[in-house]
Homo-oligomer: A and B are copies of this chain.
């Protein structure tokens, strides 16, 4: 478990890592904003200690530790609790459970696994970039979620280019695994959707929350964030429709191809089967077959066969089978 703390006020910022919650908390400056980040959930003792200090409800602790917990927002008397899934920047479509507790002057974030998700936010605090140092815990929380949502778009872009590639392959693809690969994309979209939709609800709730913890000047920022998540949700839906379309094209293309192959078979077979019957007739060994003795029989039969073949070709052309 990795505990780290960033404290800041408009004048300065300080950062600290520690091994125990109590050690870390000595660095908390009540006059400034404090952000405590807990990487890994493998030490319940530390989390319980933090819960005690910040008066976090036992159910919230459960939600922090339960990595299957669905994204949600809950307001308690002493804090606002938000949990969501963050995409691991390095490992593609793996989502990780994250929780955030926002008290009056502190933001606590809990990561399921170690990994540097919020480096950008951290740098903006330390370098005093943008407005972050001059604003409260609400803006800090916003910045963190904003970083998470930005990560979603990177994933969606990568899925988008996968889908485009599938689109190009849809017509001529005969690979046995094509359908399965497409289904994998579909499942990934389902996965992303399960991450995005509850966060959307969560943000909607946050926007309409009449809480002293979210200042009025946050409104445009929350709206913007909500807007982004809506855009992500719509992108997922559009991708789902595109994937459905690709499956349709592929199915119909491969059935069309079968049609064409079948037609060639039909025509070749249908041309030769009657001719083979005719040559079979004159291969019979009857003693009394007058035609066999005729001098021109052989060329006449050839002529007959050519006429039959041509007649059938014309018939097929008339029916537009050729």
Q: Which residues of A contact B (CB under 8 A)?
A: 57, 59-60, 62-63, 68-70, 72, 74, 76, 170-171, 174, 176-177, 179-180, 183, 186-187, 190, 194, 220-221, 223-224, 227, 230-231, 234, 238, 241-242, 245, 247-259, 261-266, 268-270, 272-277, 279-289, 291-298, 301, 321
Q: What is the distance, in angstroms, from A280's C-beta to the closest C-beta of chain B?
A: 4
Partner of A285, one of B247, B250, B292: B292
Question: Across the interface, do A261 and B261 meet the contact criterion of CB distance under 8 Å?
Answer: no
Give Cα A224–Cα B235 distance, bound, in whole angstroms. Answer: 30
Question: Across the interface, do B249 and A180 meet the contact criterion of CB distance under 8 Å?
Answer: yes
Give Cα A298–Cα B231 distance, bound, in whole angstroms. Answer: 75
Question: Across the interface, do A268 and B268 meet the contact criterion of CB distance under 8 Å?
Answer: no
Question: Across the interface, do B59 and A220 meet the contact criterion of CB distance under 8 Å?
Answer: yes
Give Cα A301–Cα B276 distance, bound, in whole angstroms. Answer: 17
Give Cα A247–Cα B255 distance, bound, in whole angstroms. Answer: 13
Closest to A131 in B: B58
Contacts A/B (CB < 8 Å), 20 sampled:
A59-B224, A69-B227, A70-B234, A74-B220, A170-B180, A171-B177, A180-B253, A194-B238, A255-B255, A261-B263, A265-B269, A269-B269, A272-B273, A272-B277, A276-B280, A283-B283, A284-B301, A286-B297, A286-B301, A287-B293
Q: What is the distance, in angstroms, from A257's C-beta to the closest C-beta of chain B?
A: 7
Closest to A223 in B: B74
Partner of A70, one of B221, B230, B277: B230
User: Residues of B contacting A261 with CB < 8 Å?
Assistant: 262-263, 266, 321
User: Residues of B contacting A285 with CB < 8 Å?
Assistant: 282-285, 289, 292
Closest to A275 in B: B277
Question: Across the interface, do A221 and B59 meet the contact criterion of CB distance under 8 Å?
Answer: yes
User: Residues of B contacting A62 with CB < 8 Å?
Assistant: 224
User: Residues of B contacting A288 with CB < 8 Å?
Assistant: 294-298
User: Residues of B contacting A241 with CB < 8 Å?
Assistant: 186, 190
Question: Across the interface, do B249 and A179 meet the contact criterion of CB distance under 8 Å?
Answer: yes
User: Residues of B contacting A298 with CB < 8 Å?
Assistant: 284, 286, 288-289
Contacts A227-B70, A256-B176 given: A270-B276 contact, CB under 8 Å?
no
